[in-house]
C-alpha cells in the first residue's frame, strides 16, 4: 500500500490556478525529485502531502508516518533538546511496546520489536549528538527562540531525519548547509529506508538521490523515470512530441474553421459532427508556452586589471576569531567562490567588503570606476507591502536599461512576471520569485563588482541556469558565497576556503580545497590517535618508582637496507604519478560535462579521489620515514 496517494489536487491563489488536478502516488521506496519553475506549486504540494495544508479540491490518503521539512519551519519546544526528544517519540513507543510484550510473555511480538530495536538502536542519544554535529545544529540546551533562520532550518532537518518516518518530505534541505554537510546528507538520503520526496535546486543532490523526477507543468504532475540527467533528456523528447501534436491541432483548427466559414451549416449528421469536432479542438488546452529569459550583467566598460584588493583583513567577535590577515586580489573577469562551514565568517567577509561592517584590522580597496552591488542572503531591499510593479520601478513607470528606457511591465515580463502578477504584493511571492525580482533590480544597477551571498537559494533550475550563463559572460568580477556545488564548479574560477584557526586559503577549485581539507582532517585524526595511544601507554606504566638506570647512548637509527634504498629512490616518482592521477580526477570532477554523461557515476569519482589521496599521504609518510634514516 502506498504511504501517500494524492488524487486530483487543485489549488488556487485568488484568480491564479496553481495546481489543476495533480496526481502523485508515493511508493514505500520512492526517491522522488519534485521540480518546476518558481511559483508553480512545489512547496504547496509538499504541504498538502504532509497534511499541513488542504487542497481546494482533491484527496490525499496517508498510510504511514510523514516528516516534513519546510522552508520556514516551526519548532515545537523551548530548547533544541525538547524538539529532538519529540522527534524520538517513536523510539520511546517501541521501547514501551517491547517492555509490555515482555511482561505479557508475547514472544512473537518481543522478537519482532527486538529486531526493529536492533536495527535502529536501543539507545539513540549518541545518534542525536552525532546528528546535531553532522548538520551543524546548535547544542541541546540552545533556546529555539534565539536561533537564527539557518539554525532553525538545521534543527528542523535533524528533527525530520531522526523521526525515521515512512516518508521524508524535504523542501530545499541543503539551504544553509555547508558543502561537507550537503555531501553527507546526499549519502544519508541515498541509504534511507523509507521514501523521500525532495524539492531542491542542488543538481548534484537530485542526481545522486532521485530515481524518479516529477515535474509540475501547467498545474499537473508529469513523472519521468530515472535520474535527473535522464529527466533532462526525456523532458526534451517529450516537449518535441508535444510541439508536433500542438502543430497538428492548430493546423486542423485552421482547416476546419475555413470549411465552416465558407460552407452553409447544413443540417446533416456529417456536418454537425464536423462542427462538433472543430469545437472540441478549440476547447482543448493549448500547449503551455514556456518562456525563457536572459540576464546580461555585462557593462561593456573598460575595467582595470584588479577591481578589489584586501590587505591583512581581520575580524573577530569577542574571543572568536573569524579570519585574520586575509589578503587577496580579485581581478577583472574573476569569480571567486567562498567555502567554509556555517558560522566561519563568509557572510561577514562580504558585509565588510560592502562597507556594512568595519574590520578589526586591515583594509579593502576598490579600483576607480568600480560600482559594487550586494545580493544578500536575507534578500533585503524588498518591502513587503510594495507591489511587484513598484518594487521593480521604484515608483516609476519606466526604467533605464543601458542606454534605453523601457516600461516596467515590459521589463518585468522579461523576468517571467506576467501582467496579472504586477499588482501582487511582494509579501505573497515565493522565495524564488523574490530572488528573481532582486536579480531584475540587480541588472538595473549596472554594477561591475558583485557580492553574492547564497544567490542560488530558492531559485528554480531554469533561473539557476540563467544566472550561471549571466556570470559566465560577466565582464566584471564576483565574489560568491554558495553551498551549491554544481554552481561553484561551473561558474567560479577559484575559491577562498575558510580553514581552521581563522586561515583563509585560495585554491584553484572546490575539489582541490576539499582534498586539502580531507588531508588535514586525516592528519589531525592520526595525531589524535597517536596522542591517545601514548596517554594510554603512560597510564598503564607501573606507578612505583624504579631504580635509576644508567643512561645509555641513544640507539643509532638503523641504516637503509639495499631494498629500502631502492624504495626510497622510487617513492618521488610514485608520488608524482599519483598526484597526476589525482589532478586528472579533479579535472573530470570540475567538468560539468561529466555530470551529463550517464555512464559516469560521480560517487565513483569522489571515492577514487579519496583513495588516491590516501595513497599519496601514505607514500609521503613512508618517504619521510626513509628520509630520516637515509
Give me the mean pLDDT over the 300-309 stretch. Answer: 89
Backbone torsions φ then ψ of 101, nearest 5 degrees? -65, -35
The reported pLDDT for the residue numbered 562 is 66
Q: What is the percent of the chain with per-residue pLDDT over 70, rounded to a whole number?
A: 86
The reported pLDDT for the residue numbered 555 is 52
Q: Are both 350 and 428 inside the same structural domain? A: yes
Q: Are both 225 and 275 inside the same structural domain? A: yes
CA angle 315, 321, 322 (to 5 degrees): 65
pLDDT per residue as tens digits for the range 25-50: 999 999 999 998 888 889 999 999 99
Q: Residue 39 and residue 219: Cα distance in Å, rounded?
A: 10
Give a yes or no: residue 391 inside a domain.
Answer: yes
The β-bridge partners of 168 are 67, 196
Q: Are both 570 and 502 inside the same structural domain? A: no
Q: Are both 230 and 359 inside the same structural domain? A: no
pTM of the model: 0.70
Give a yes or no: residue 363 inside a domain.
Answer: yes
Q: Are both 312 and 273 inside the same structural domain? A: no
The total domain count for the chain is 3
**Where is the domain boundary, 228, 253, 288?**
288
Domain extent at residue 596: 558-629
Q: Residue 253 and residue 260: Cα distance in Å, rounded?
A: 10
N-term to C-term CA, the chain: 70
Cα 472 from chain centroid (whole Å): 20
CATH label of the domain that carries residue 610: 1.10.287.380
Q: Are both 315 and 268 inside the same structural domain? A: no
Give a yes or no: residue 567 inside a domain.
Answer: yes
Give a yes or no: residue 536 inside a domain.
Answer: no
From the CB of residue 318, how many other CB atoms can be counted at a distance below 10 Å?
5
Give a yes or no: residue 169 inside a domain.
Answer: yes
Backbone torsions φ then ψ of 371, nearest 5 degrees? -115, 115
DSSP 226: S
Q: Is the pLDDT of residue 266 over 70?
A: no
pLDDT per residue as tens digits for the range 568-598: 778 877 887 787 787 777 767 666 566 566 6
Q: Are both 375 and 497 inside the same structural domain? A: yes
**Where is the domain boundary, 511, 544, 577?**
511
Lowest mean pLDDT among 146-155, 175-184, 256-265, 542-551: 542-551
Q: Residue 92 and residue 111: Cα distance in Å, rounded?
A: 17
Q: Are both 199 and 346 inside the same structural domain? A: no
Which of 68, 255, 98, 90 is closest to 169 using CA atoms? Answer: 68
pLDDT per residue as tens digits for the range 166-181: 999 999 998 888 888 8
Q: Are both 581 and 507 inside the same structural domain? A: no
**Where is the domain boundary, 256, 288, 320?**
288
Give a yes or no: residue 299 inside a domain.
Answer: no
Q: Are both 178 and 224 inside the same structural domain? A: yes
Work out the mean pLDDT of the chain and round it to a whole number.
83
CATH label of the domain that carries residue 244: 3.40.50.300
Residue-wise burial string across 379-405, b where 16 or more C-beta atoms lie within 10 A, e elsewhere? beeeeeebebbbbbbeeeeebeeeeee
Q: Is the pLDDT of residue 521 over 60?
A: yes
What is the SS3 assignment for 447-483? CCEEEEECCCCCCCHHHHHHHHHHHHCCCCEEEEECC
> When comparing pLDDT for 455 and 605, which is higher?
455
Give a yes or no: residue 365 inside a domain.
Answer: yes
The reported pLDDT for the residue numbered 175 is 84
Q: Are both 361 and 283 inside the same structural domain? A: no
Residue 151 — pLDDT band, cuts 50, 70, 90? confident
Residue 552 — pLDDT band, cuts 50, 70, 90? very low
The reported pLDDT for the residue numbered 31 is 95
Cβ proximity of 626 and 619 under 8 Å: no
Q: What is the percent of the chain with per-residue pLDDT over 90, rounded to a whole number?
A: 26
Q: Is the pLDDT of residue 556 over 60?
A: no
Give me the mean pLDDT over the 59-67 stretch. Answer: 92
**How buried is 169 (Cβ within 10 angstroms: 0-12 exposed, 13-18 middle, 19+ buried)?**
buried
Q: Are both 358 and 282 inside the same structural domain? A: no
Backbone torsions φ then ψ of 170, nearest 5 degrees? -120, 120
Give a yes or no: residue 111 inside a domain.
Answer: no
Residue 291 — pLDDT band, cuts 50, 70, 90? low
The reported pLDDT for the residue numbered 27 is 94
The reported pLDDT for the residue numbered 420 is 80
Give the three-class secondary structure for 102: helix
Amino acid at each position: 500500500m502506498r504511504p501517500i496517494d494524492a488524487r486530483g489536487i487543485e489549488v488556487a491563489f485568488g484568480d491564479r490556478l496553481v495546481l489543476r488536478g495533480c496526481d502523485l502516488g508515493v511508493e514505500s521506496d520512492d526517491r522522488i525529485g519534485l521540480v518546476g519553475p518558481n511559483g508553480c506549486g512545489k512547496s504547496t504540494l509538499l504541504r498538502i502531502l504532509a497534511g499541513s495544508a488542504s487542497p481546494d479540491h482533491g484527496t490525499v490518503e496517508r498510510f504511514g508516518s510523514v516528516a516534513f521539512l519546510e522552508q520556514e519551519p516551526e519548532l515545537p519546544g523551548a530548547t533544541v533538546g525538547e524538539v529532538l526528544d519529540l522527534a524520538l517519540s517513536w523510539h520511546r513507543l517501541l521501547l514501551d511496546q517491547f517492555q509490555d510484550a515482555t511482561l505479557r510473555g508475547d514472544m512473537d511480538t518481543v522478537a519482532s520489536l527486538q529486531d526493529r530495536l536492533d536495527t535502529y538502536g536501543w539507545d539513540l542519544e549518541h545518534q542525536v549528538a552525532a546528528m546535531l554535529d553532522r548538520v551543524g545544529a546548535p547544542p541541546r540546551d540552545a533556546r529555539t527562540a534565539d536561533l537564527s533562520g539557518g539554525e532553525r532550518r538545521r534543527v528542523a532537518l535533524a528533527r525530520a531525519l531522526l523521526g525515521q518516518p515512512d516518508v521524508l518530505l524535504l523542501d530545499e534541505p541543503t539551504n544553509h548547509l555547508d558543502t561537507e554537510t550537503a555531501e553527507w546528507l546526499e549519502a544519508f538520503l541515498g541509504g534511507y529506508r523509507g521514501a523521500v520526496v525532495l524539492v531542491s535546486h542542488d543538481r548534484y543532490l537530485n542526481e545522486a538521490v532521485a530515481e524518479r523526477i516529477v515535474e509540475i507543468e501547467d498545474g499537473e504532475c508529469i513523472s519521468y523515470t530515472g535520474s535527473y540527467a535522464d529527466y533532462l533528456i526525456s523532458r526534451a523528447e517529450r516537449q518535441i512530441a508535444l510541439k508536433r501534436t500542438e502543430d497538428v491541432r492548430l493546423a486542423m483548427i485552421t482547416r476546419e474553421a475555413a470549411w465552416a466559414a465558407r460552407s452553409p451549416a447544413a443540417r446533416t449528421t456529417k456536418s454537425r459532427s464536423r462542427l462538433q469536432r472543430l469545437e472540441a479542438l478549440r476547447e482543448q488546452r493549448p500547449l503551455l508556452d514556456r518562456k525563457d529569459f536572459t540576464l546580461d550583467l555585462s557593462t561593456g566598460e573598460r575595467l582595470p586589471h584588479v577591481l578589489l584588493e584586501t590587505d591583512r583583513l581581520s575580524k573577530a567577535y569577542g574571543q572568536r576569531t573569524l579570519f585574520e590577515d586575509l589578503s587577496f586580489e580579485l581581478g577583472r573577469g574573476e569569480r571567486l567562490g567562498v567555502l567554509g562551514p556555517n558560522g566561519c565568517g563568509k557572510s561577514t567577509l562580504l558585509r565588510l567588503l560592502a562597507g556594512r561592517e568595519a574590520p578589526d584590522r586591515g583594509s579593502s580597496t576598490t579600483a576607480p570606476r568600480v560600482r559594487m552591488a550586494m545580493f544578500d542572503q536575507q534578500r533585503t531591499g524588498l518591502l513587503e507591502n510594495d507591489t511587484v510593479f513598484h518594487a521593480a520601478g521604484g515608483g516609476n513607470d519606466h526604467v533605464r536599461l543601458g542606454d534605453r528606457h523601457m516600461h516596467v511591465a515590459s521589463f518585468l515580463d522579461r523576468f517571467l512576471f506576467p501582467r496579472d502578477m504586477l499588482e501582487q504584493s511582494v509579501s505573497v511571492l515565493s522565495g524564488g520569485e523574490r530572488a528573481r525580482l532582486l536579480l531584475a533590480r540587480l541588472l538595473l544597477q549596472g554594477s561591475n563588482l558583485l557580492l553574492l551571498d547564497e544567490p542560488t537559494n530558492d531559485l528554480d533550475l531554469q533561473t539557476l541556469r540563467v544566472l550561471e550563463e549571466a556570470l559566465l559572460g560577466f565582464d566584471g568580477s564576483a565574489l560568491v558565497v554558495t553551498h551549491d556545488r554544481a554552481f561553484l564548479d561551473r561558474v567560479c574560477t577559484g575559491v577562498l576556503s575558510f580553514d581552521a584557526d581563522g586561515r583563509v586559503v585560495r585554491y584553484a577549485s572546490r575539489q582541490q580545497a576539499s582534498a586539502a581539507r580531507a588531508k588535514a582532517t586525516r592528519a589531525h585524526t592520526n595525531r589524535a590517535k597517536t596522542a591517545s595511544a601514548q596517554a594510554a601507554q603512560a597510564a598503564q606504566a607501573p606507578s612505583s618508582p624504579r631504580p635509576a638506570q644508567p643512561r645509555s647512548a641513544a640507539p643509532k637509527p638503523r641504516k637503509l637496507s639495499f631494498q629500502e634504498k631502492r624504495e626510497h629512490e622510487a617513492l618521488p616518482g610514485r608520488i608524482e604519478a599519483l598526484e597526476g592521477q589525482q589532478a586528472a580526477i579533479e579535472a573530470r570532477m570540475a567538468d560539468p560535462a561529466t555530470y551529463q554523461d550517464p555512464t559516469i557515476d560521480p560517487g565513483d569519482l569522489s571515492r577514487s579521489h579519496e583513495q588516491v589521496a590516501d595513497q599519496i599521504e601514505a607514500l609521503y609518510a613512508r618517504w619521510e620515514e626513509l628520509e630520516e634514516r637515509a
